[in-house]
Amino acid sequence: MAKKTTKKEKSIFNQNSLNFLKDYLNNPSPTGFETAGQKLWLNYITPYIDEYFVDTYGTAVGVINPEAPYKVVIEAHADEISYFVHYITKDGFIYLRRNGGSDHQIAPSKRVNIHTDKGIVRAVFGWPAIHVRDAAKEETPTLKNIFLDLGCKSDKEVEELGVHVGCVVTYEDEFMELNNRYFVGRALDNRVGGFMIAEVARLLKESKTKLPFGLYIVNAVQEEVGLNGATMIAHRIKPDVAIITDVCHDTQTPMMNKIASGDLACGKGPVLSYGPAVQNNLLKLIIDAATKNKIDFQRQAASRSTGTDTDAFAYSNEGVASALISLPLRYMHTTVESVHKEDVENVIKLIIASLKGIKNNHDFRYHK
């Protein structure tokens, strides 16, 4: 007897949105230098919003119903980890400083792009061959011993290429799909979040959904170095509600510690955080929206802070009802960050369902 198969639900993505995701992820957007990525994002989202604005440091905001006095934010961050050129040796090698939480242990043998006024200069992270290393005294990669090789003989040759102290360095690895199940690449933390909130705008427009409040779709800069973009834009918008989306750790792969990081899995749905910065009545609304719409979700305890832009919004102005919807991700801050395609869809669906549950002038206070 043939086995009964369950009909797979049609994807909410179309080819245009998937092309945008690929282009957006492949485009470098290092912390403090997010402009090119922000232009791509605004170009994609503009047909689905009423207006947009950009602040001094580059945070981009698309607005639906800009005249409405009650303001709801959905937010992601646009920046990716990178390096700065720090020291150029007389022999033409380069030592670096982090720009955000770049993982030095993955660096050896990686190819990189150095961003200069003359354009991209390619380089590689060098490392001594296995044949010449002392097995009894194996060194691990650190910022003190990893270096870039540009194929130059001297510091003068390096400078002639347009490379100087302060130039930004990004990995050149690009987007791919794994087993038709995972999106893989560098900087899914958190440009996949920027993709998800842009898709929220598209789907609201295409379904002709009318919201009773102003919706501010925020793609913030400089999260990786201290939530800076979110801090600035929260004071400018002065929202009443903020729903943040970022990534969290999948803990199912080898070497992960569930006691330390919880039991979270790609493919099992969005992750909802508990913690002081998370407004419990807003969290309950999101949980109710997930339950009503049969969206599977997971839970995470965040302790003192979430470590995301949620904290910046929650404690801004006179206090903003804030919550965090996270996307489980494998191999954070590497060039092979991986997220399950169904989780991406379900985060988008959950944000939309949650927005539909928010009333105009919704009062989230614990007691009145």
Same domain, 96 and 47: no
Same domain, 193 and 280: yes
Q: What pLDDT digit, counting tens, does each position of 42-73 carry?
A: 999 999 999 999 999 999 999 999 999 999 99
Tell me the residue range of the domain where 108 lies: 82-171
The reply to whether 28 and 101 lie within a common domain is no
pTM score, whole prediction: 0.96
pLDDT 10s digits, 109-129: 999 999 999 999 999 999 999
Q: What is the average pLDDT value for the chain, to the nearest integer?
A: 96
Question: According to the model, what pLDDT value does residue 5 have?
Answer: 46
Residue 8 pLDDT greater than 90, yes or no:
no
The answer to whether residue 9 is domain-embedded is no
| Residue 178 lies inside a defined structural domain of this protein | no
- Which amino acid is residue 110, in one-letter code? K
pLDDT attached to residue 96: 98
338 pLDDT more than 60:
yes
Domain boundary among 145, 171, 197: 171
Cβ partners under 8 Å of residue 363, min gap 6: none
The answer, yes or no, to whether residue 6 has pLDDT greater than 60, is: no
In this prediction, residues 177-196 reach a mean pLDDT of: 97
Q: Pairing mode, if any, of strands 119-126 and 82-88?
A: unpaired
DSSP reduced 3-state for 88: strand
* pLDDT tens digit sequence for 65-103: 999 999 999 999 999 999 999 999 999 999 999 999 999
Q: Are residues 287 and 140 in the same domain?
A: no
- pLDDT band at residue 228 under the 50/70/90 scheme: very high
The residue type of 247 is V
Q: Which of 171, 195, 229 is the last residue of a domain?
A: 171
- Co-location of 206 and 342 in the same domain: yes
Same domain, 133 and 196: no
Inform me whether the pLDDT recorded for 360 exceeds 50: yes
pLDDT confidence of 135, banded at 50, 70, 90?
confident
For 2-18, what is the mean pLDDT?
Answer: 77
Same domain, 142 and 192: no
Whether residue 58 sits in one domain with residue 116 = no
Task: For 114-143, give one letter per residue: b (16+ CB within 10 A) or e.
Answer: bbeeeeebebbbebeeeeeeeeeeeeeeee
Final residue belonging to a domain, choices 116, 146, 171: 171
CB contact at 8 A, 68 and 216: no
Q: Is residue 179 part of a domain?
A: no
Mean pLDDT across 13-25: 97
Res. 1 pLDDT band, cuts 50 70 90: very low
Q: Structural domain tally of the chain?
A: 2
163 has pLDDT over 80: yes
Judgement on whether residues 90 and 73 belong to the same structural domain of the protein: no
90, 76: one domain:
no
